[in-house]
Each structure stands twice: as structure tokens, then as C-alpha cells.
Structure 1
Amino acid sequence: MNIAVYCGASTGNNPTYINEAKKLGEFFGKNGIDLVYGGGKVGLMGIIADAVLASGGKAYGVIPEYLKEKEIAHEGLTELFIVKDMHTRKAKMAELADAFVALPGGAGTLEEIFEVWTWAQLGHHSKPCAFYNTNGFYQHLLDMINNMVNSGFLHAQYSDMLILADTPQALINSFEAYSPPKVKWT
């Protein structure tokens, strides 16, 4: 299984974020799960990639040319794809991945997971999308998503399709049990 991980190019201000990214990366590496991610060696991106590689796994990075220096491209990956721009990066990551998960991160992390979640709703793919809720990081966002449902802007089946996990095994179990909802407008 190839899992795309979206996460911060920084580590945040709580060591729990670092520790949980390491644990998830080690779990991937030890269980034959390949990482697909943004290709940087900084922040949580670098932490999870290093943990996967150190545990015997494979890590595939996808980084735009103009971010190669800013995010400091990880040169020790199984393979590093250098692409033209962010649109190409996201498309390549989606192509390589069997599932998607957002670890703690900022606006870019949210944009990436929301895009693949939207694509799933529209039937562009039937792959699972998840939030790795380290230390309750995504609770307020999940409350907002529930507000979207309660306010009539999102059907419950599309909020229900999101996976919420806070341990590696729960994440993988949820991915393996995932069944996509009916596609919009079919």
C-alpha cells in the first residue's frame, strides 16, 4: 500500500507531533507501507520520511522545482520526483497513492487533503482520506465539518467518509475497511 501523507514543513510547538510522525513512519516502514509525500527533509515531512527509511521502508517524494531549495529536498529518498508546479505535485501524489492522510500541518496540508477529499466526493477516485488526530489537533476542524453538515452545505455521507485515527494500526484498519460512498450526481 502507498499512503500519501500531507503534513507540516515545520514541526509545530509540541514534541508530540514529532513523536507521532516518527511512530507512524516506523509503522509504515516495518509493515511494508510505502510513503508518498511532499519530498522535503524539513519539519514533519522530513521526520516521517526519515522514520520510514530507517525502518526499512520506501519513501517517494514529489517536490516542485521552485520548492526544491526552500523545503530543502530530501536527497536520501527511494525516489524523488521533481515536478513543474504544485498542481503537478498534487496530481502525481494522487496518482502514486492508494490512500491519503493529513498529519498536523498548516494551510497547505489542509488544502491538499481537502482537494483529494473533494475529488473522492466527485468520483475522481475511490481512495480513503483521513485525518491523523494527534493530540486532538483536528478536533476543531472536525467540528467545522459537522457544522457544514448541520447547516446543509455538506451531505453527511461525505463527512462520514473521512477517517479519523490517532494510532497507526487504527489508521490502517480503517483504510482496509473503507468503502466509498455513492458518488455525487450519478
Structure 2
Amino acid sequence: MNRLAVYCGSATPADPLYVDTARAVGATLAQRGIGVVYGGGRLGLMGAVADGALEAGGEVIGIIPQALVRAEVAHTGCTELHVVTDMHARKALFTSLSDGFVTLPGGVGTMDELWEAISWAQLGYHAKPVGLLNVAGFYDQLLAFNAHMNAVGFIRPAHAGILIARETLSDLIEAMEAYEPHETIFRMSASQL
């Protein structure tokens, strides 16, 4: 994996664990020679990931919608900063520039990005690993809900392993590197659906 899209919040939670983890993720990816593709912001966890990677000498590619540039939240220190028209263009560029996706803690926007990456993998728009770093149990309830969707049958057995969740970045990267693409909906017959 040469580049990973990193999805995370633009907020700064009161607990410094989240920002510290984001900064460490950026630094660790840079040290491993993995470029960061992210939302292009300078605030919250997003800014911490970028700063961590940049301080470690890594490549950081920001992708930000024009409306957020005008709100003065763009990180101007990125290796590259792509300004796009809207969120749809942003997510498409995340997918085309990265070799996989890592999700850190975040809010609604982060969830939108995570679930779209999973959905696109199910369908067959990409065959890249989708990782979730479960920092301090932040995603325990989401993982339980994902297991519930599997158990009920809303996630096909062929797609149950798309979401790769781990508690440490090293374990997550190792699992993502070992990821084997699954059978996509686009390649399934009607009887398999």
C-alpha cells in the first residue's frame, strides 16, 4: 500500500487521546513510507493526522471542497491540496488516489465516508481494504451493529469480511495488507443476491 485514505473527525474532543492517536497515525504511516490522503483540513483529528505525517517527512494529499476552503479550514501545508467542487468529488478522489481506507474516530462525515467505502467495495467499484482503528473502544457499538446486520442477513456472507477492525495501527495495517478481495455484487448472479 503506497497511500491510504484516512477518514476522521474535524472536531477536537476534550480527551487528548484522540488527537494524539491521530498524530501518531500520521507519523507512523509516514515512517512506513505510506502516503496520507485525507480531507484537507487543518482542524481536529484531520489536522493532527496531516501534521503528524508532515513532521515525519511523509506525503500528505489533502482533498477539500471549495466551500470549506472559503471557511478557512484548508491545511495549506499539504504536499498537495486538491480543491474540488463538492463532497461527491472529494470521495471519488479519495478512492482513486488511495490503495485502501483507514477510519479513525469521527462523527457523521466520517461515518458517511466509512460506509460509502464499504458499500462501494460490496458493489465492486473498488477492491481495496477498508480498515477501522477502534481507538479505546470508540467503535465497539458500531462493530456490534455491523455484526447484527451480518447476523440478520442484510450483509451477504461474501461481504462480511470487508470491514477490517483492529485496536492497534500495526495490527490493522497487517490485516489490510493481507486482505483478499471478495466476490462483488456486480459479479454475482441473481440467485446469489
TM range (shorter): over 0.9
Structure 1 residues 71, 119: CA separation in 2 closer, same or farther (over 3 Å shift)?
Answer: farther
Amino acid at match of 1:58: E
Shift of 1:54: 0.2
Query: Is the Cα contact below 8 Å between 1:42 and 1:71 reproduced in 2?
Result: no
2:99 is matched with: 98
1:3-46 alpha-carbon deviations (Å, 9 max, x no partner):
00110001223211112111111101111110000000000000
Cα distance in 1 for partners of 2:23, 2:88 equals 28
Q: Which residue matches 1:117?
A: 118
Structure 2 counterparts to residues 37-76 of structure 1, below 5 A: 37-70=38-71, 72-76=73-77
Distance between the aligned counterparts of 1:53 and 1:169, measured in 2?
19
5+ residue gaps, structure 1? none
Return closer, same or farther for 1:113/1:73 CA change in 2, 3 Å cut-off.
same
Would you say the 8 A contact 1:3–1:101 is kept in 2? yes
SS in 2 for 1:160: coil
What is the rounded CA distance, in whole Å, between the counterparts of 1:29 and 1:14 in structure 2?
A: 24
What's the CA shift for 1:71? 6.1
Alpha-carbon separation, structure 1, partners of 2:105 and 2:97: 21
For the structure 1 residues 71 and 105, does the alpha-carbon distance in structure 2 shift closer, same or farther, using more than 3 Å as the test? Answer: farther
2:131 maps to a residue whose letter is: A
Paired residue type of 2:162 = M
Partner secondary structure for residue 52 of structure 1: helix
Q: Any stretches of 5+ residues in structure 2 without a counterpart? A: 189-193
Aligned letter for 1:62?
A: I
Aligned to 2:23: 22
Contact 1:41/1:71 (<8 A) preserved: no
CA shift, 1:55, in A, is 0.3
Equivalent position amino acid for 2:139 in 1? Y
Q: TM-score, normalised by structure 2?
A: 0.93
TM-score (structure 1 length as normaliser): 0.96
Partner of 1:159: 160
Q: Do the aligned residues in 1 keep the contact of 2:61 with 2:79 (CA within 8 Å)?
A: yes
Residue aligned with 2:61, SS: strand
Q: Which amino acid aligns with 2:127?
A: S
Count of aligned positions: 186
Matched with 1:136 is 137
Range 58-67 or range 17-26, more displaced: 17-26
Aligned to 2:191: none
Is the Cα–Cα contact under 8 Å of residues 101 and 129 in structure 1 kept in the other structure? yes
Q: Percent identity?
A: 44
Q: Which amino acid aligns with 2:10?
A: A
The superposition leaves residues 71-98 of structure 1 with CA deviations (integer Å, 9 ceiling, x where unpaired) of 6100000000001111111111111010
**Given residue 164 of structure 2, which amino acid in structure 1 is its aligned partner?**
I
Deviations 1:132-175 (A, max 9, x none): 10011111001111111122211233232211122221121112
Measured on the aligned residues, the alpha-carbon RMSD in Å equals 1.2
Q: Which amino acid aligns with 1:33?
A: I
C-alpha distance in 2 between matches for 1:71 and 1:169: 34
Q: Which runs of 4+ in 1 moved over 6 A?
A: none
Q: Comparing 79-88 with 172-181, which one deviates more in the overlay?
A: 172-181
- Of stretches 146-155 and 74-83 in structure 1, the one that deviates more from structure 2 is 146-155
